[in-house]
Structure 1
Amino acid sequence: MTKQLHVISHTHWDFEWYFSTHESLIQLIYHMEEVMDALEKGDVDNYYLDGQLSIVEDYLNACPHQQHRLSALVESGKLKIGPWYTQTDQLIIAGESIIRNLQLGINLGKALGGVEMLGYVPDSFGQSVDMPKIYRGVGIDKTVFWRGLSTDVYPYREGRWQSDDGSDVTFYNIRDGYYVGGQLIYCDDAVALVSQVEKGCLSQDIALPLGGDQRYVDRNVKSRIEQFNQQLSEANLDVRLVESSYDALFDRLKAQDLPMDILSGEMIDGQVSKIHRSIYSSRADHKRLNDMLERRITLELEPLMALATRFGIGYQKELINNLWRIMTRNHAHDSAGGCNTDKTNKIIVERFEQVDQMSSAARDYLVRKIAESQPVLENGARLTLFNTLPFAREHTQNLTLSTKSAGFTLSTVSGEPVAFDVIAQSQHYNGSIQRDPKDNDPNGYYYQTEIAIRHSMPALGFTSLVIEETRDALTPIDEKATYLIENNRYRIEYTGGGLHLIDKDNERRWEYFLTARDGGDDGDTYDYSPPAQDWVIDLSFNHAECVTQCGALQQRLTLSGQWMLPENLEARSHRFADTQCDYVLTLTLQDGLPLSIEFDINNQVDDHRLQLVVNSPIETKESIADTPFGFVRRPHYQLQMADWRERGWKEEPCGIYPMINLVNVSDTATSLSVLAQGIKEYEVLLESPSQPSGKVALTVFRSVGWLGKPDLIRRPGIASGQQYKYIPTPDSQMKGHQIAKLALLLDDKFDAAAVNHASQRWSIEQPYYQAQSLNQFTNTLKYFVMHPLSNTVVDETSMLTVDAPSLVCSSIQYEDGAVFVRVYNPSEYAIEDAGTLQFAQDIQDAWETNLLNQPLHLLTISQNAIHFGKFRAKQIRTFKIALE
């Protein structure tokens, strides 16, 4: 059988990197002219536009007159586009974001004449364990990728890749990179090229991708193929090159009965290509912003918009789509990684800020619109508390209220008193401002009071409380110089310069359970790398000022102190700690929530990595971390660490790993889950490779000053990014305040759904609205007048309840009169009867859908509920419910 090399013309288009998206757009405009001209003239048969539609959208926004021309080429099959909106990172981006990315890309591609249903990720820094089920969920059954797969895991280029739920796709690994076909143009050794790309191939049909970063179309591809085929014929090799496409390649693979084994799991090994296994902490500010906004859109704004439809407020689908368009541009692999120039990173932050302002304004508008449509109370003012999660909540939350008097009480609408702790109170002025505050109107003052309150909240709904002002002033809880806080589960002590945790349930004491660790970083924006002369400093909280605030509902311990750290790598090499960095560490205990930790350090030094370390007594050799729709088990020590250099790996396979929001270590007695808001990197610290450990180190941030550097200890060889020029990135030194939010949850054993529920309760804010006119700036839009709804809104309501303890809800959306609820089973085990989805109003019809929200089959409705029934391990399912 003749061996065929399928020459596939394409470009790889990083729309931002060491250049900005604005600079890249200029090249794109002229590039598209050349590509369309080459396709129309027949210089190339077809051309793959990197599998992402955002660049097509940018081009058509700049050149709308070319849409008909472009669509004609797409419809003819010559210009191949999609299915992604952007080439997403898969390891630190939330699962809903990945689904929305594909939804945007597929829908836009179809509107332009057709979309390539190929999971094409030629440059993403690793492949998530969940991708096969996500691909299958949108109708994709094949994928092409480059990075992450080692021959120790799977020796061939072709195979079947399977998720834990049983979903699988055919894969092709372009092991030599998406640019290997450039040798067809630049070199004349056909035999050497064939010898290179045929290694590890099961099939006689082999991909030869012809393209590169922002690469022009090779208009001489036909003549070069002819020359190479002539060479191969003269060498008496039964090999020929053909101009082709990925569709044609996979059709040929499908027609052959290849002995493909099943590949499972994630792919994060740097054997044949760099994987950048420590990029998860580069530009930590980006990661924090992205995580906050992903949570806000999917678990606050979208459910709130769905709830608002019950009162006649239209669901703004295009507003949501625009938010996702902006967000997913920041999810492209370089953008998500933060391995860019400073000017590009500034644009990324600007996009996050745009989404932040739009999403918070939309949330605040809806909360106000609903609350101001409730009837005015005869006695007191209304306080409306919202819950955007699909299950009831009852735990402590902090609110800030505005009152004319310094005292007030809280009660339910029916008159039952509601207790609260007073955290702080301050006086403010709402009169016309004067140059001299002494001239202020003495009647223009009011009080802002921060309180902690615990009250039951209905699932996806709201309830009302009553604020009645009193003459008796409130007294905030005193801050005391004591050294312990406790609740019904934990006791935290600050003694001997350290923090100690007592697990009351297990009567177990964890000495110095939380510390910090600072070491040098001689790496770049792609990778952490220790300097040749490192000095790792174990930081304690010795000599910190300690104050506590202990109320009935909330207890808080705050440490304020300073660390002296080396100013730079030179100072570190001399073990000279010469620069002060102030920090504040706050631990908060609230019944019903995990132990919450907020850490703020004012970073004033360069080239270092700072980690918070949870020193648990747990002994284990593996960690568990969450993935887009489940979790994965990882060894603390990967066996290839022993000889990776000798074996020619491109990067050290160390125990630095990605996470979405949580990491867990467990033994037979205790399960510790560390929850995080925006921290995306962890490692378990080891005394020796064979020794078990439960010391979890989370990277708060890394400080580096270069986009790429060559010959790193962890990553030998050429520089990543731009190998021909040192590009400084002083902003990546992360000077100023760096804030980390994390929480600790102890259980007897790891329960994936329970931990995810706890993470949602802890990290998803509960919006609230106070009926008052004293402070017109509780949100930006409150200053402007607003009409109430035509129909009065009730005091309390719940739209729906997900009663399924073993499932996790990832999104609630609304479109065309129907609610879409997506849930998944995060565990390794199947569930026979997962629970119900209960609605408070009549259901007209219900369907199960795919991940594109397209109906698959009708469901049975029973008393305004649907029964989830069986769930496979790690399975994702989406439900469409049309309401009466």
Structure 2
Amino acid sequence: MMKKVFHVIPHTHWDYEWYFSTHESLIQLVYHMDEVMSALENDENDTYLLDGQLSIIEDYLKQCPEQLERLRTLVQQGKLKIGPWYTQTDQLIISGESIVRNLQTGIRLAEELGPVMAIGYVPDAFGQSIDMPKIYQGVGIDKTVFWRGLSTDVCQAREFNWQSEDGSQVLGYNIKNGYFVGSHVMYSDDPTPLCHQAEDGSLAANIAIPLGGDQRFVDKELKSRLDISNASNKDYQLIESSYDKLFADIEAENLHLPTISGELIDGQVSKIHRSIYSSRYDHKYLNDRVERRLSYLLEPLMVMAGAEGIETKPALMNNIWKTILRNHAHDSAGGCNTDKTNKIILSRFEEADQASDSAVDYLVRKLAESQPTAEQGGIDGRVTLFNTLPYARNALIKTTISTSAPSFILLDMEGQEIKVDVFCSKRVYRGSIQRDESTNDPSLYYYQSDVEFYYPLPASGYTSVQLVEGEGDAKTTAIASDQLVIENDRYRLSFEQGQFVLLDKVQNRAWNDCINLIDMGDDGDTYDYSPPENDWLIQLDWSQATVNVVKQGFSESMVINGVWLLPEDLTERAKQQCSAPMTYTMTLRLQHAVAGDESALPLTIDANFDNQVKDHRVQLVVTTPFETTTNWSDTPFGVVERVNVPERLHDWREQGWKEEPSPIYPMLHLVNIHDQSCSLTLLTKGIKEYEVRANNQIALTLFRSVGWLGKPDLIRRPGIASGQQFKYIPTPDSQLQGELHCECALVIEGNFNPARVQTLWQAYAIEPLVYQNQSLNQFTNTLKYFVMHPLTTEVADHRAGIELDSTDLVVSAIKPTEEGDGTLVRLYNPSSETVTVAGHLKVPTAETSVTEVNLLEQPIADAQSFNGQLGLGRFKPKQIRSFIFK
């Protein structure tokens, strides 16, 4: 029998921010790095793992650029272990593209310094996504080390092979006792208790003992401490080591290891914070908006602009990505931070939001204003419509038109009139502002009209319509209705006796009392929801609401306004008293289609709240007329099936789990339940958590209001406080007092198709871009006031770009390559079934070279030529494939 060898691995876990701010952490980092490098140079330590994230190295070198060569030397010598992450991302509520860009950024920065640690090292992330093995393999990583999420129900061993559905596999190691246990070596002469703990569940004779901790100093006395440990116990050998050496020695043992698959989100041996996905909803909403804009608007728009000769800006894009990647570390993404830290996180979101929005505005304007002028076209004006998704859409365009005359019409470029719904029009002054409006120049007034119209849009391209003033009817078409019913060819929603009734016209089935808002107490913290001991569940009584129906030419809306009296705090809730008002407006909307698939038109729900209540959780609950035992949600590159009643829900305390395995789950953009004949999908923008409730209910957690960073002995999470366990830290900002906006949509279909529902989400969440070339309103965006040169070559009226012709695949990215010399298209099969004939990619250039690449944009196959249409062939279950076109 081999003598067991314990690999003591020196490291630090450097939380980017938490109950301290990144600025406070930076000061300690600057001096910490001096100590680390000195210890390595003086051979006090052989190696040191700098937490696997490059953002802290980037920050250090920004403050201490003179240390670059010193640091690079240690990396090249293999003493300082760096990479592969930019920040140690959350894996459950962060988009797949963000995770890929995080690894791309970290690996590229690390390669500038020396060898990259090719290990998916995530010592503290709150769970591991089902998609990580294939993501790791896509960037050349075949091993992973993590702490949280793996239970003995899934795997009893520390060592295992973790496999994705496409066959991608990584060798995994679970540091189930945490990344900090090795400090025992530094404070005790007898390593026996530590070794017993570390070998529990180990199949290998080589076992990890991580020596580090949060912002822990370098242990310079390690060598002498190991001598003492080895002298006091002859049964074990403790060596100073690294994860590279640990894995090499485990592989040399040639063990038969178990193979596991799926997501790892169990809270048996460590807290997983199963309800952190709804903390600081305001941050999650912003993050989702920026991710959507970068992946599905700005990058495809840069490809369009590049085709017209506008230079792509890789550094600009990378800097915007890096700004939000800094918000994706587990604490930052979760929102479990102090208020001062969350203010910094919010400021980064706002920076990325403004930069990405401005870039979209600039490119749209540059392209539109480079089209033929009104005089050249012989028309009064031009409105340019952009579709950044890779399929043609007959989309409902919603925009504001500015005109000198109160009436106007829109024509296509062949002169055919387009039916337009004008639902709001107002007269606006464009002259210099005056204190006395009666002195305004009457000739400087114009009209702003909010309109909707259907128009076919090309895939990944743009098209134009003509504006003609002085014709048509300027009257608005919005009509108030006394009947509390909205409908289209697919659905009929009525408000009857204080309840919403949804009629599915295709299946001819009524969903009675189907939509509700529920409020409950929250005695938790910014890590976890926890019901108070004396909770009071309140369902919104719509009887006090004001309900109005407005019918327009292309859509119908039901608007519910009211004030919901709720318990002000947990004290009032325990007494079942209500004194705190929460004003709300909820708009349910159905649109009519002029052509195409009616089932693609969801029932959209927009809700606005003025939250003045503390310590509570608000959910939107949809009740279905069918029962299921499982539910489905989207993941970074696919979907995952989850049970409605977790196996350990009723005996987790007896089994010693760290927290309740509630049916509260993370989501990116959608949740689905379905039976053999009916499928319900809820689509969201920024809502990241759902709960499966009894009686066939799916509940979206709209937001939580809590006021503490960590509390002990919660009902769902007994024991010590999460976060800072030695001090109560108030977080009043996390009560989210003020206005909140929530958006979601509901789709009913006959069957569940993963690719279809993800494509429906894209159509719902990514609206067409519109630009009217006019000079009446100089403030359609911030910089419209300033002049701009058009391109030297005119932009055509109409252009189609890359088009995905497939019902089985989903597009993840269309972007300029990192070198700016081509276009990358990333696709994935979200289904658990193999797609044998996946369809085609059509590109606008007749003769094109294509190369299949990995997630680092490195070739994995030889380049080949094709003539405008690329057959995509076979896709394995859940497989990701990327192509570069030149």
Please name the residue that 1:689 is paired with: none
Residue 418 of structure 2 aligns to a residue whose secondary structure is coil
Equivalences for 1:367-378 in 2 at 5 Å? 367-376=364-373, 377-378=377-378
> Does the alignment pair 1:741 with 2:737?
no
> Does the alignment pair 1:853 with 2:850?
no
- 2:830 pairs, out of 795, 820, 826, with 826
Please name the residue that 1:667 is paired with: 675
- 1:254 pairs, out of 243, 251, 256, with 251
Residue 180 of structure 1 aligns to a residue whose secondary structure is coil
Residue 544 of structure 2 aligns to a residue whose secondary structure is coil
Residue 626 of structure 2 aligns to a residue whose secondary structure is strand
Distance 1:486 1:844 in 2: 47
Q: Contact conserved, 1:11 with 1:50, CA < 8 A, in 2?
A: yes
Please name the residue that 2:734 is paired with: 732
> Does the alignment pair 1:270 with 2:267?
yes
Equivalences for 1:350-499 in 2 at 5 Å? 350-376=347-373, 377-470=377-470, 472-499=473-500
**1:840: how far off?**
1.1
Residue 397 of structure 1 aligns to a residue whose secondary structure is strand
Please name the residue that 1:603 is paired with: 611
Q: Contact conserved, 2:504 with 2:510, CA < 8 A, in 1?
A: yes
Distance 1:449 1:852 in 2: 46
**1:859: how far off?**
5.1
- 1:698 pairs, out of 694, 700, 707, with 700
Please name the residue that 2:6 is paired with: 5
Amino acid at match of 1:794: A
**1:860: how far off?**
4.3
Q: When the two structures are superposed, what TM-score results if normalisation uses the length of structure 2?
A: 0.98
> Does the alignment pair 1:635 with 2:668?
no
Q: Contact conserved, 1:395 with 1:593, CA < 8 A, in 2?
A: no
Q: Contact conserved, 2:824 with 2:882, CA < 8 A, in 1?
A: yes
Please name the residue that 1:784 is paired with: 786
**1:862: how far off?**
3.5
Residue 856 of structure 1 aligns to a residue whose secondary structure is coil
Q: Contact conserved, 1:88 with 1:98, CA < 8 A, in 2?
A: yes
> Does the alignment pair 1:336 with 2:343?
no
Please name the residue that 2:596 is paired with: none
Distance 1:24 1:482 in 2: 60
Residue 58 of structure 1 aligns to a residue whose secondary structure is helix
Q: When the two structures are superposed, what TM-score results if normalisation uses the length of structure 1?
A: 0.98
> For each residue in 1:13-58, what CA deviation from the matched residue of structure 2 results, as whole angstroms up to 9, or x when unmatched?
0010000001100000000000000000000000000000000000
Amino acid at match of 2:264: M
- 1:280 pairs, out of 260, 277, 282, with 277
> For each residue in 1:188-216, what CA deviation from the matched residue of structure 2 results, as whole angstroms up to 9, or x when unmatched?
33111111111000001000100000000
Aligned length: 872
Distance 1:533 1:730 in 2: 22
Residue 35 of structure 1 aligns to a residue whose secondary structure is helix
> For each residue in 1:302-343, what CA deviation from the matched residue of structure 2 results, as whole angstroms up to 9, or x when unmatched?
000011011110011001100111011000000000000000
Please name the residue that 1:214 is paired with: 215
Amino acid at match of 2:328: H
Please name the residue that 1:836 is paired with: 840
Amino acid at match of 1:857: A
Distance 1:423 1:131 in 2: 47
Amino acid at match of 1:211: G
Please name the residue that 2:797 is paired with: 795
Please name the residue that 2:716 is paired with: 714
Q: Contact conserved, 1:421 with 1:554, CA < 8 A, in 2?
A: no
Distance 1:86 1:861 in 2: 38
- Cα RMSD (Å): 1.0
> For each residue in 1:344-382, what CA deviation from the matched residue of structure 2 results, as whole angstroms up to 9, or x when unmatched?
001111000001110010000000000000001312200
Please name the residue that 1:243 is paired with: 240
**1:557: how far off?**
1.1
Equivalences for 1:99-118 in 2 at 5 Å? 99-118=100-119
Amino acid at match of 1:255: A
Please name the residue that 1:30 is paired with: 31
Amino acid at match of 2:770: Y
Please name the residue that 2:149 is paired with: 148
Amino acid at match of 1:299: Y
**1:743: how far off?**
0.5
Please name the residue that 2:772 is paired with: 770
Distance 2:482 2:491 in 1: 20
Please name the residue that 1:760 is paired with: 762
Amino acid at match of 2:107: I
Q: Contact conserved, 1:425 with 1:476, CA < 8 A, in 2?
A: no
Distance 2:862 2:459 in 1: 25
Distance 2:510 2:188 in 1: 67
Equivalences for 1:306-345 in 2 at 5 Å? 306-345=303-342
Please name the residue that 2:298 is paired with: 301
> Does the alignment pair 1:513 with 2:514?
yes
Unmatched segments (≥5 aa) in structure 2:
594-599
Distance 2:492 2:862 in 1: 51
Q: Contact conserved, 2:296 with 2:813, CA < 8 A, in 1?
A: yes
**1:268: how far off?**
0.6
> For each residue in 1:858-882, what CA deviation from the matched residue of structure 2 results, as whole angstroms up to 9, or x when unmatched?
3544421211100000000000110
Q: Contact conserved, 2:848 with 2:867, CA < 8 A, in 1?
A: no
Equivalences for 1:167-182 in 2 at 5 Å? 167-182=168-183
Unmatched segments (≥5 aa) in structure 1:
687-692
Amino acid at match of 2:442: P
Distance 2:576 2:564 in 1: 14
Q: Contact conserved, 2:523 with 2:532, CA < 8 A, in 1?
A: yes
**1:839: how far off?**
0.9
> For each residue in 1:237-278, what CA deviation from the matched residue of structure 2 results, as whole angstroms up to 9, or x when unmatched?
2x1000110000000111112121111000111000000000
Amino acid at match of 1:703: S
> For each residue in 1:595-619, what CA deviation from the matched residue of structure 2 results, as whole angstroms up to 9, or x when unmatched?
1110111111100000000111121
Q: Contact conserved, 1:410 with 1:467, CA < 8 A, in 2?
A: yes
Q: Contact conserved, 1:641 with 1:653, CA < 8 A, in 2?
A: yes
**1:844: how far off?**
3.4
Q: Contact conserved, 1:132 with 1:167, CA < 8 A, in 2?
A: yes
Distance 1:85 1:419 in 2: 50
Residue 414 of structure 1 aligns to a residue whose secondary structure is coil
Amino acid at match of 2:231: Q
Judging changes above 3 Å, is the alpha-carbon distance between structure 1 residues 242 and 879 closer, same or farther for their aligned structure 2 residues?
same
Q: Contact conserved, 1:846 with 1:859, CA < 8 A, in 2?
A: yes
Please name the residue that 1:619 is paired with: 627
> Does the alignment pair 1:648 with 2:656?
yes
Distance 2:270 2:664 in 1: 17
Equivalences for 1:199-210 in 2 at 5 Å? 199-210=200-211
Residue 838 of structure 2 aligns to a residue whose secondary structure is coil
Residue identity over aligned pairs, in percent, reads 54
> Does the alignment pair 1:567 with 2:568?
yes
**1:633: how far off?**
0.6
Distance 1:186 1:197 in 2: 17
> For each residue in 1:441-472, what CA deviation from the matched residue of structure 2 results, as whole angstroms up to 9, or x when unmatched?
11111111111111100000000001111154
Please name the residue that 1:40 is paired with: 41
Between 563-572 and 837-846, the greater mean CA deviation after superposition? 837-846
Distance 1:458 1:540 in 2: 45
Please name the residue that 1:87 is paired with: 88
**1:789: how far off?**
0.3
> Does the alignment pair 1:68 with 2:69?
yes
> For each residue in 1:93-115, what CA deviation from the matched residue of structure 2 results, as whole angstroms up to 9, or x when unmatched?
00000000000000000011221
Between 537-546 and 91-100, the greater mean CA deviation after superposition? 537-546
Between 311-320 and 462-471, the greater mean CA deviation after superposition? 462-471
Distance 1:748 1:114 in 2: 52
Distance 1:322 1:585 in 2: 37
